[in-house]
Structure 1
Amino acid sequence: MIVNSTNVVRAIEILLVEDNPGDIRLTQEVLKEGKIHNHLNVVEDGEKAIAFLHQIEPYSHVPLPDLVLLDLNLPRRNGLEVLKMIKSNESLRHIPVIIFTTSQAEDDIASAYKLYANCYIIKPIDLEQFTRSIKSIEDFWLTIVKLPQE
């Protein structure tokens, strides 16, 4: 939860950019059971992610996320293109972006950090380890880290 300048408590807004229905469902379940009150929005491709972040229809009434979980292997625009757009936009660059992907390629890791990704996590294939990774993200990014307010 985030307490804003007027002491109003609100859920942490998370944007999941992921095209794998199984990974979406599992992430939703783990975060729903988590200890931090959050609201998870999901988009399935890079174009929708950009529309969401720029609040373009049909996303004109959604709040900006406090945190982005971004897969790299996406249809229409890949995750690195989305990351570059976020980190080069003055009104979005403050949003932490966690790369959560199956890619172990050194080029992808280096490129993500060159584009100012806040962290790079290789998505485990094992169900238990996947769940543990999402819980670790929640524990660190939603509990320990102080996220910027809009």
Structure 2
Amino acid sequence: MRSLQILVVDDDDADALMISEALEATDSNATVERVSDGREALDYLRREGKFGDAQRPDLILLDLNMPRMDGRETLAAIKADERLKAIPVVILTTSGATPDIVSSYQHRANAYVTKPFGLDDFEQTVRQIDRFYREVATLPTSND
């Protein structure tokens, strides 16, 4: 089994911490980096500014509702960029609104997951995402 390089794009400190802790409690050895909005995510992914030495993630966990640049705009920018569009993006958000779900898939999200409210359920959901992308899915490899 491989370990994943995961980029968490979420402005909620508590949710980002729960994601990291859920992954640490598994045998995945995932490396988790976190940015708090879409602009930072694009800088990270494009290795710009303070992210010049950033590692290309195997997987992006993207929240929709964030300041400055929200997840909808971020998803559209990632999937429009030839260098980034192959990176799987899982929308992990509190919104269960049909327009958000439809829009995310129209902008080529790889999956849409609504954040569960209970801590145990939230951690289990994150572990299932990790397990799927680590053990079941075949991910693209990158030479950069």
1:93 aligns with 2:85: yes
1:37 aligns with 2:29: yes
Counterpart position of 1:123:
115
1:58 counterpart SS class = helix
Counterpart position of 1:7:
none
Match of 2:68 among 54, 76, 91: 76
Counterpart position of 2:99:
107
In structure 2, list runs of 5 or more residues that go unmatched. Answer: none
CA distance in 2, matches of 1:39, 1:129: 21
Return the TM-score normalized by structure 1: 0.91
1:72 counterpart SS class = coil
Residues 3-55 of structure 1, C-alpha deviations (whole Å, 9 max, x = no match)? xxxxxxxx421100011111111111111122222210000111111111111
Number of matched pairs: 142
CA distance in 1, matches of 2:118, 2:29: 26
1:90 counterpart SS class = coil
Counterpart position of 2:46:
54
% identical equivalent positions:
37
CA distance in 1, matches of 2:45, 2:60: 10
Task: Work out whether residues 34 and 138 of structure 1, in 8 Å CA contact, stay in contact via their aligned partners in 2.
Answer: no
Amino acid at match of 1:27: I
Report which stretch shifted further, 54-63 or 137-146. Answer: 137-146
Amino acid at match of 2:120: E
Match of 2:17 among 25, 36, 55: 25
- Give the structure, 1 or 2, with the largest relative contact order (CA under 8 Å, sep 6 or more): 2
Per-residue deviation, 1:57: 1.2
CA distance in 2, matches of 1:82, 1:69: 12
CA distance in 2, matches of 1:68, 1:142: 13
Amino acid at match of 2:123: T
- RMSD of equivalent CA atoms: 1.0
Counterpart position of 1:146:
138
Per-residue deviation, 1:63: 1.1
Return the TM-score normalized by structure 2: 0.95
Amino acid at match of 2:45: L
Runs of 4+ in 1 over 2 A off after TM superposition: none
CA distance in 1, matches of 2:122, 2:114: 10
Match of 1:16 among 5, 8, 16: 8
